Structure 1
Amino acid sequence: MDIKFTKMQAYGNDYVYVNAIDQKIDNPNELARKVSDRHFGIGSDGLVLICESKRCDFRMRMFNPDGSEGEMCGNALRSLSKFVYYHHLTDKTHLTIETLGGDQVVDLFVENGDVVNISACIGEPVLESAKIPVATDEPQFIDKEVKILDKTFKMSSVSWGNPHTVVFVDDTDSFEVEKYGPAIEHYTDLFPKKTNVSFIQILDRNRIKMREWERGTGETIGCGTGCCSSAVIANILGLTDREVTVEQIGGPLKVLWDEEGKVHMTGPSYVVYEGVYYDK
């Protein structure tokens, strides 16, 4: 089976995007594992399907490299929105996108026919422990000490339909993400659905430095919802203002937590190349 695809990246967070409106995809979990392989496949942080929606303009389904389906991904959300405009599936610049993490709103900024920037409003952060979920009697899991392997960390959790845990470290550059990331992700006694992990360092009231360990993926050099989680938790703890720039390995993302409680992320996305994947 020949599958047309577009490879896109936002801050190095790269996915394979497939129009599933005009192409039938029978087993997306298996396809995600194949195309994500950086040696035997296309190579990506996962697979994103663009689907029809009964209540929104489009529906996004995203799959991790291990084949598991994720609820939400900020960079994929913004890239998908550029995809549908780029491929003339819509001429709208204000879009609603259905995801497992809820319905999202995206605005495209277009110059001379090209999408030059993308702002996604991903709604209000979910802070209730039971809804994230975090296995605790505390109503919110904010600034709690947790021992992981040989270290004790201050952790805070939030959800956008997908669980995120923010961990404060002294120096993100030297921190052993590959040691502690999977240990926290798989600490299911506390995080029953596992968790994405954002390791952050506060630079000043307007800047945060972050490295991200994504559930089902490993370390990625960009994560939109990780940036939003970091911005929200840092502001709750009084460490930053409501508008910050989050510096990732893949580049800086602007995040605003507005006075109505909604979170916006703004940044570009790029088409890398297009092709046909021969799925045997």
Structure 2
Amino acid sequence: MKFTKYHGTGNDFILLREEDLEGREESETAKALCHRNFGIGADGLLIVKASSVADLMMAYYNQDGSVAPMCGNGLRCFARFAHEDDLVETDRFQVETLAGILPVDVSSGYDSIRIGLMKPSFHLTAPHVRREVYEGEILSLTVNGRSYDLHVLFIGTLHGVVFTEEEVPYEDADGLCHHEFFPEHINVNFVKVESEDDIRLVTFERGVGYTLACGTGAASAQVIAHKLGFTKPQAKVHVDGGTLEVTVGDQVVLEGPAVCIAKGEMEIG
């Protein structure tokens, strides 16, 4: 099976064209390829498919084989793959995802790919949450005897944002991610505001765990930080894998690099 591997600020992905699957089941293929000991190793699998409503369609699977509607870092890598392999004819094109049709722009080069995200929603209902959550509501959740205040939103995927000056224990991050309040689990972002232009972020991603970066997590962190008056509309989001830039306006725009790591072939049962 032919594959290409990319990363966006350390968030790494395997990319395939749909025909490269040769009929293999997608979720099981994702688990096999993304396994870091017995596969190539990655946070997720991106599959390029034809679309009847956009230039291309992106299917995304987490490392554990679960489906995710959207992945910000993944979409940037998808955009570079499509552009480099001449699957599109322009620098600006549209990609169909489970979170909607999203615009991408590679005209500034692969170090600065811009993608538009869906309009964030702060009013949440089932199946994302156990009970209705209204805009402006802060959820106080307790895990392992410690209380955390979560600002929740849906921006293609479900995210919670926690402002904290302290490092959060792994078991607490995992406990929040899998809290019973979220039937399908939630991505959790721990944010430190450094200035009105800069925030620092660590994300615990459902289906993956701690990641070096999460694009929709970076967007969620900046959306909430700006909504609360902590940051300007445009801010840099510093993650362990590098720096992303998020602009909040009529559309939330995420900007950052997409780097090709390797191309090759792998035998898979």
* Structure 1 residue aligned with 2:48: 50
The answer on whether the counterparts of 1:13 and 1:45 sit within 8 Å (CA) in structure 2 is yes
Corresponding position: 1:215 with 2:206: yes
Relative to structure 1, the CA distance from residue 32 to residue 19 in structure 2 (aligned partners, 3 Å threshold; closer, same or farther) is same
2:66 alignment counterpart: 68
Q: Deviations over 1:219-240 (max 9, x none)?
A: 1101000000000111111211
| In structure 1, C-alpha distance between the alignment counterparts of 2:131 and 2:122, rounded to whole Å | 13
Tell me the CA shift for residue 110 of structure 1. Answer: 5.0
Q: Note the C-alpha offset of 1:95.
A: 1.1
Match of 2:257 among 261, 264, 268: 268
Shift in CA distance, 142/132, structure 1 to aligned 2, threshold 3 Å: farther
Relative to structure 1, is the Cα distance of residues 160 and 132 closer, same or farther in structure 2, using a 3 angstrom cutoff?
farther
Matching of residue 202 in structure 1 with residue 172 in structure 2: no
- Out of 5, 8, 12, the residue aligned to residue 7 of structure 1 is 5
Distance in 1 (CA, whole Å) between partners of 2:23 and 2:30 is 11
Hey, what does 1:78 align to over in structure 2?
Answer: 76
Amino acid at match of 1:92: T
Q: Give the structure 2 partner of residue 139 of structure 1.
A: 134
8 Å CA contact 1:132–1:159 kept in 2: the answer is no
What is the alpha-carbon distance in structure 1 between the residues aligned to residue 50 and residue 175 of structure 2?
37
Change (3 A) 1:10 1:21: same
Structure 2 portions without partners, runs of 5+ = none
Q: CA deviation at 1:141?
A: 5.7
The alpha-carbon deviation at position 143 of structure 1 amounts to 3.0
Between 1:143-152 and 1:50-59, the stretch displaced more is 143-152
User: Alignment RMSD, CA only?
Assistant: 1.6
Cα deviation for residue 131 of structure 1 reads 6.6
Q: Distance in 1 between matches of 2:36 and 2:132?
A: 42
User: Does the 8 Å CA contact 2:2/2:265 hold for their aligned counterparts?
Assistant: yes
Contact 1:126 1:132 in 2 (8 A): no
Amino acid at match of 2:210: E
Deviation at 1:127, TM superposition (A): 1.2
Conserved? CA contact 1:134–1:141, under 8 Å = no
Q: How many residues align?
A: 269
Q: Render the CA deviation track for 1:150-180: whole Å, top value 9, x for unaligned.
A: 2111111111221011111113xx332x211
Aligned partner of 1:154 in structure 2 is 149
**Matches for 1:52-201 after TM superposition, within 5 Å:** 52-110=50-108, 115-130=110-125, 133-140=128-135, 142-171=137-166, 174-176=167-169, 178-188=170-180, 190-201=181-192
Name stretches of at least 5 consecutive residues in structure 1 with no aligned partner: none
* Shift of residue 36, structure 1, vs aligned partner: 0.8
Q: Which stretch has the larger CA shift, 141-150 or 229-238?
A: 141-150
Contact in 1 for aligned 2:121/2:155 (Cα 8 Å)? yes
Is the 8 Å Cα contact of residues 55 and 94 (structure 2) preserved in structure 1?
yes
Whether the 8 Å contact between 2:92 and 2:107 is mirrored in structure 1 is: no
TM-superposed CA distance for 1:25, in Å, is 4.1
1:183-228 Cα deviation digits (max 9, x unpaired): 111113x112210111111111111111011111111101000000
Give, as a single letter, the amino acid of the residue that structure 2 aligns with 1:268. P
Show the counterpart of 1:36: 34
The separation in 1 between residues aligned to 2:133 and 2:77, in whole angstroms, is 36
TM-score by length of 1: 0.91
Residues 1:246 and 2:237 aligned together: yes
